[in-house]
Amino acid sequence: MEAPALSLKNVRKNFGPVEIIRGVDLDIARGERHAIIGPNGAGKTTLFNLISGRFPISSGSIALNGTRIDQLPPQNISRLGLSRSFQITSIFHRMTVFENIRCALLWSSGYRYSFWSPLWTQKALNRQAEQLLDELNLASRRDLQAGLLSYAEQRALEIGITIAGGATVVLLDEPTAGMSHSETEYAQALIRRVTEGKTLLMVEHDMGVVFGLADRISVVVYGQVIASGKPEDIRNDRAVKEAYLGALTE
Amino acid sequence: MNEAAAKPPKRSRQLWLWAALILIGVAMPWVFYDWHTARQSGFVLTMMSQMGMMVIFSLSYNMLMGQSGLLSFGHAVLFGLGGYCTVHFLEAAGHHSFPVPLELIPLCAGLTGLGFGIVYGYIAATQRATAFAMITLGLGELTTTAGIMFHHFFGGEGGISTDRTNASSLFGLSYGASVQVYYLILAWTVLAALGMLFLTKTPLGAMANATRDNFERARFMGYDPRRVRFLQFALSGFFAGIGGGLYAITYEIVTYDAVSGALSANVVLMTYIGGATFFYGPILGAILITLLQSGLSLLSNAWLIYVGVLFIGMVTFAPSGLAGIIGAHGPLARAGRLGRLLVPYLRLSIPAFATLIGFSGAVELTSFLTIGEAQGKHLVLFGETIQVWTPQPWIVTAILLIGGGIWLRRECRAFARIWDDLNADLKDRSL
Amino acid sequence: MEIVLNPLLNGFVYGMLLFMLASGLTLIFSMMGVLNFAHAGIYMIGAYVAFDMSRLIGFWAALIVAPLVCAAIGAGIEVWGLRRTHHNGHIAELLFTFGLFFIIERGVQMVWGMLPVPYRVPALLDFPLFRLYGVDFPAYRAFMLLIAGGMLLAIRLLLTRTRVGLIIQASLTHPQMVSSLGHNVPRVFTLVFAGGCYLAGLAGVIGGNYQVTEPAMAASLGPIVFVVVVFGGLGSLSGCFVSSIVIGMVQTFAVSIDGSLADLLGPIVAWIGTDNLAGEILSIPVSRVGPLLPYAMMVGILMFRPRGLMGTRDT
Ligand SMILES: Nc1ncnc2c1ncn2[C@@H]1O[C@H](COP(=O)(O)OP(=O)(O)O)[C@@H](O)[C@H]1O
Ligand SMILES: [Mg+2]
């Protein structure tokens, strides 16, 4: 059998004396769209930080397509085809929108640390960046400093940077947080389009987006996965209702 | 002041500007040609040569400061070591054991700069931000302290000297005349500037900007920020080394000054005042500071105070430097509305001038009270000797400084209002 | 014994002087994130002002007034300068203080001239306190120790017994949290900055006549103080104390050792010869390498342990 795209085994993390992630087991099959839901402070972002190598784990193991990644620095994990977005927008503020996207393409296009290939002659690279800008609906903002974009545009750029490098496993942390209804709908369509054929792991609070996109859902509460399954199962799960969904519908 | 909000200027116009700048460089010695003695002005040549080196040096510094967001307080080390090595190269050339023509010796200096850049960069690139600044400060102090200790390489306090005519020439030139050296410097300045401009447009240059803005995100895109810092540092060492090589060739002596903290500080000031966020900013800064150094230092004992105050003013009010101030006028200029600022600028200039006079008056009076006194100099203004021990000049100065300052503040506010209105208007139209 | 005890005592005096400078700097750096380049400049101003005042009103009055002048200057710098550059980030603040140092240095040269000024130890304290293995220990150094020790005690009491002190302590380890405590943060910053400058000024008053009062005194001491702060670690006053003493000792001890590597590696050096670079490096006496040591220590610690000796977070 093919190894799962992402596999977490008994992952734990503590900051000082406090254990924030308390033994998470999670398998995500290739091509699956998996949503993680849970109350604020449950440890969802921390989980992403552990998977992507931002923080070291305290114990357990994480594997990407069957390879252990829990001891690797973020850049090496990224090179293995895992990419993530940030809940708090993390872009290159003083560079133009186009440059932001192009930077995100560089490594996967094999440029590495090249200081001998002039970027303006790299037709294929530039075309790819333009195309992505079109897809993100940011073409009209091409030469604007990224820091001057509107919030929703910055979120779109955040997603763009995340998927630009052609990662096969994509982690999105609350991609629609703070968006209006119409913006959310647009973002949902965008995410569906750009993650076609990829493995998606997504933290999301908007239940419309979650149930619209996800094949499977895991519920994280207080650093543990309390339920994991198909959307309809989760919707009907008593424990989940009590712990989380109930709080929302009250 | 959102200079980046507007479209960038056309490439062709930029090309013209560059060409004009080079042309000025080529023509300058002949503008100040003395037909009686059939010689170029030595003063102008020295100044322009100095400008060339400093342009290279501050551009190389900006590869760290502006492009990578790294603040180095020991950049002169790379410059100076390039210079010291060049002296040794030239000495070797004198013994016929270094068969490289003088035209290419700056390249060798660059390579030694690269070598030192690799060593120092390996150490410094482990950190960023304040810790990086501290490491470079430490490395700078280490090197300068060592510089006094090792006689063999550094020649102790007196430095080491050489003769540039030791080396051969590709074009059969003797390089005895400083105008020949000047053109060599000019050529290398253009080459080095083009090289550094090229580097900004490569993947490494792009990632340097990216790690400057957000080093963490760069990691999640597959890049190791430490590697990026290291490469930028090493490459900037290459160009700093070229500058140092030209320094050694010009002055034929390299002393402790060339690696000193004072020069490291100077390059910070030059680059920042010129404008670190623009590629051409450091060029402006190097030219301005060298002009001040050559001109003002003759007139005033206290010229460095003016530079320091200018620097602080820039840090506080114009963080993108002279280039930023110029660049901010771009959108208005392209819309053909720069004329609207003429009157506001005139209004601004009067109190600004008064304040400036008041300030420099205060500085000069103080300086004549102390240093001037010790040197037996007198403050002469419009042919009259000013008595610095009498209250009148002080009162006039105080009135100019304080009154001008208050007036200037008001005018600045008014100016800011007009500026904002004009730019808001421009934005409305473009939408 | 005699080669140990005398340097030990002098190293301790020098270390205490360093601590007076470094404690203020580390408080400012830990709380505000600004590495204050002008700090050694304030120290120099303290020395020069004390020199002028000791001629006008006497040393003892200068001991009181000069540090206060420095504190006032510090408060002015914080309120009219640093606070305005704050929104441009730490690098801008660093550059601001850097420019300030530049101006202070030139300004001092302009006002007091390039040559050292004859700032002397007060006559009252100008006698040897005791003799140790044939070397006099001046009473003034004991006085310096007294002042520095008193200062240390005062800081401790201030930090542990007063409200402001507790806020400062909390913010040393968690600078982001201060603002959420709901205190008047700008006022605390001004207070800390002025306090740091007071200490620097006081160090200037008692250090100016211990060393030499000249325009280069700031540039030569400034980097050492940075070394102390970085070596001790951010957010830790005890780390700062330990590293002050260590650096003070290292510097005085190195100066008092006459040997060189060549003495240990005699035959090898004889084989290499001393007229080339390698031989020269080996035969440099340790006393001359002394000034290099603090910087080597700083670079090393920043490379391998950026949080310093006892720091709570990375530099
Ligand atoms: N770097 C850190 N140091 C200490 N505690 C942290 C850190 N990052 C997160 N935490 C704590 O971990 C808990 C989970 O946070 P987070 O993962 O952001 O939650 P979520 O994303 O589910 O809302 C919170 O209580 C937070 O305070
Ligand atoms: Mg979160």
Residue C263's pLDDT band, with cuts at 50, 70 and 90, is low
Give C84 or C3, the one with higher predicted confidence. Answer: C84
Between CA C241 and CA C238 the distance in angstroms is: 5
Give B59 or A235, the one with higher predicted confidence. Answer: B59
Give B148 or C249, the one with higher predicted confidence. Answer: C249
Residue B230's pLDDT band, with cuts at 50, 70 and 90, is very high
Between CA B55 and CA B22 the distance in angstroms is: 13
* Average pLDDT of the residues in A71-99: 95
| Atom number in ligand 1 closest to CA A40 | 23
CB B91 within 8 Å of CB B162: yes
Between CA B417 and CA B347 the distance in angstroms is: 14
B326: exposed, middle or buried (Cβ count in 10 Å: 0-12, 13-18, 19+): middle
Question: Out of B46-50, B62-66, B425-429, which region has the weakest mean confidence (pLDDT)?
Answer: B425-429
User: Mutate which of B221, B227, B231, B334 to disrupt the A interface (most A C-beta within 10 Å)?
Assistant: B221
Sheet strands (E) in B213-267: 253-254
| Two tokens, residue A35 | 């949503």
Q: Do C91 and B129 touch (CB under 8 A)?
A: yes
Q: Which domains does chain A have, with CATH numbers?
A: 6-249 (3.40.50.300)
| Two tokens, residue A23 | 């033994």
User: Mutate which of B316, B317, B368, B370 to disrupt the C interface (most C C-beta within 10 Å)?
Assistant: B316
Domain that holds residue C174: 2-218
- Nearest Cα neighbor of C171 from C228, C237, C74, C229 is C237
Q: Do A86 and B217 touch (CB under 8 A)?
A: yes
Model confidence pLDDT, tens digit, residues A96-151 = 999 999 999 999 999 999 999 999 999 999 999 999 999 899 999 999 999 999 99
- Nearest Cα neighbor of C20 from C125, C150, C140 is C150
* Average pLDDT of the residues in C287-306: 85
Model confidence pLDDT, tens digit, residues B300-349 = 777 888 999 999 999 998 999 999 999 888 888 888 888 888 888 999 89
A84 pLDDT more than 50: yes
Cβ contacts below 8 Å, chain A against chain B, sum to 109
Element containing residue B344 per DSSP (H, E) = helix B342-367
Within 13 Å of residue C251, how many CA atoms lie on the same side as its CB?
A: 21
**Average pLDDT score, chain C:** 84
Q: Do C35 and B130 touch (CB under 8 A)?
A: yes
Q: In this predicted structure, what is the pLDDT of residue B39?
A: 74
Q: Rounded to the nearest 5 degrees, what angle is found at the Cα of C43, between the Cα atoms of C40 and C45? A: 115
C253 pLDDT more than 70: yes
Between CA A55 and CA A44 the distance in angstroms is: 13
Annotated domain spans of chain B: 41-327, 337-424
C25 found inside a domain: yes
Give B199 or C181, the one with higher predicted confidence. Answer: B199
* Average pLDDT of the residues in C219-245: 88
Between CA B379 and CA B386 the distance in angstroms is: 6
Name residue A8's beta-bridge partners: A26, A62
Residue B423's pLDDT band, with cuts at 50, 70 and 90, is confident
Check if A221 has its Cβ closer than 6 Å to any atom of ligand 1: no
CATH of B41-327, one of 1.10.3470, 1.20.81, 1.10.357, 3.40.50: 1.10.3470
Q: CA of B301, closest CA in chain C: separation in Å?
A: 8
Between CA C12 and CA C6 the distance in angstroms is: 10
- Nearest Cα neighbor of C236 from C314, C149, C294 is C314
* Average pLDDT of the residues in C205-213: 90
Beta-carbon contacts of B407 under 8 Å, excluding residues fewer than 6 positions away, are B351, B354, B355
Let me know how long chain B is.
431
Cβ contacts below 8 Å, chain B against chain C, sum to 127
Between CA A45 and CA A43 the distance in angstroms is: 6
Between CA C8 and CA C99 the distance in angstroms is: 37
**Average pLDDT score, chain A:** 91
CB B40 within 8 Å of CB B179: yes
Residue B2's pLDDT band, with cuts at 50, 70 and 90, is very low
Between CA B40 and CA A34 the distance in angstroms is: 76
Between CA A168 and CA A195 the distance in angstroms is: 9
Model confidence pLDDT, tens digit, residues C184-205 = 778 888 888 999 999 999 999 9
C308 found inside a domain: no
Give C289 or B408, the one with higher predicted confidence. Answer: B408
β-bridge pairing A33-37 and A216-221: parallel
Which residues of chain C neighbour B307 with C-beta distances below 8 Å? 102
DSSP B158: G
Number of structural domains found in chain C: 1
Model confidence pLDDT, tens digit, residues A15-28 = 988 999 999 999 99
Give B380 or B26, the one with higher predicted confidence. Answer: B26
Check if A40 has its Cβ closer than 6 Å to any atom of ligand 1: yes
Cα dist from B183 to A247, B29, B180, B249, C70, whole Å: 77, 10, 5, 12, 51
Check if A20 has its Cβ closer than 6 Å to any atom of ligand 1: yes
What is the C-alpha radius of gyration for chain C, rounded to an integer number of angstroms?
21
Residue B1's pLDDT band, with cuts at 50, 70 and 90, is very low
Model confidence pLDDT, tens digit, residues A144-167 = 999 999 999 999 999 999 999 889
C109 found inside a domain: yes
| Atom number in ligand 1 closest to CA A48 | 17
Q: In this predicted structure, what is the pLDDT of residue C151?
A: 87
Q: How many CB atoms lie within 10 A of CB C127?
A: 11
User: Mutate which of B141, B271, B373 to disrupt the C interface (most C C-beta within 10 Å)?
Assistant: B141
Residue C160's pLDDT band, with cuts at 50, 70 and 90, is confident
Between CA B291 and CA B297 the distance in angstroms is: 9
Number of helices and strands (H, E) in chain A? 10, 10
Q: Rounded to the nearest 5 degrees, what angle is found at the Cα of B84, between the Cα atoms of B83 and B87? A: 90
CB B260 within 8 Å of CB B148: no
B4 pLDDT more than 50: no
Q: Do B308 and C99 touch (CB under 8 A)?
A: yes
B269 pLDDT more than 90: yes
Residue C140's pLDDT band, with cuts at 50, 70 and 90, is confident
A46 pLDDT more than 90: yes
- Nearest Cα neighbor of A88 from A45, A30, A24 is A45
Give C269 or B232, the one with higher predicted confidence. Answer: B232
* Average pLDDT of the residues in C275-297: 75
| Atom number in ligand 1 closest to CA A16 | 4
Model confidence pLDDT, tens digit, residues B9-58 = 556 777 888 888 889 888 888 887 777 777 777 888 999 999 999 999 99
* Average pLDDT of the residues in B102-116: 96
* Average pLDDT of the residues in B1-14: 53
Q: Do A107 and B222 touch (CB under 8 A)?
A: yes
Residue B241's pLDDT band, with cuts at 50, 70 and 90, is very high
Q: In this predicted structure, what is the pLDDT of residue C266?
A: 63
Within 13 Å of residue B165, how many CA atoms lie on the same side as its CB?
A: 7
Beta-carbon contacts of C278 under 8 Å, excluding residues fewer than 6 positions away, are C272
Question: Out of A171-185, B360-374, C144-158, which region has the weakest mean confidence (pLDDT)?
Answer: B360-374
Check if A46 has its Cβ closer than 6 Å to any atom of ligand 1: yes
Q: In this predicted structure, what is the pLDDT of residue B5?
A: 42
A63 pLDDT more than 50: yes
DSSP C304: H
Residue B361's pLDDT band, with cuts at 50, 70 and 90, is confident
| Two tokens, residue B379 | 């403050």
Element containing residue A63 per DSSP (H, E) = strand A59-64
Between CA A77 and CA A61 the distance in angstroms is: 14
CB B239 within 8 Å of CB B59: yes
Which residues of chain C neighbour B304 with C-beta distances below 8 Å? 102, 106
ipTM of the complex as predicted: 0.92
At which residue do the structure tokens 């280490």 appear?
A: B142
Between CA A170 and CA A51 the distance in angstroms is: 11
Q: In this predicted structure, what is the pLDDT of residue A157?
A: 94
Beta-carbon contacts of A148 under 8 Å, excluding residues fewer than 6 positions away, are B2, B4, B5
| Two tokens, residue B105 | 């010796």
Between CA C13 and CA B421 the distance in angstroms is: 61
| Two tokens, residue B417 | 């209002």
Beta-carbon contacts of B251 under 8 Å, excluding residues fewer than 6 positions away, are none
Nearest ligand to the CA of A19 is: 1
Cα dist from C304 to B124, B193, B215, B247, C235, whole Å: 11, 36, 20, 36, 18
Give C87 or C312, the one with higher predicted confidence. Answer: C87
Q: In this predicted structure, what is the pLDDT of residue B393?
A: 84
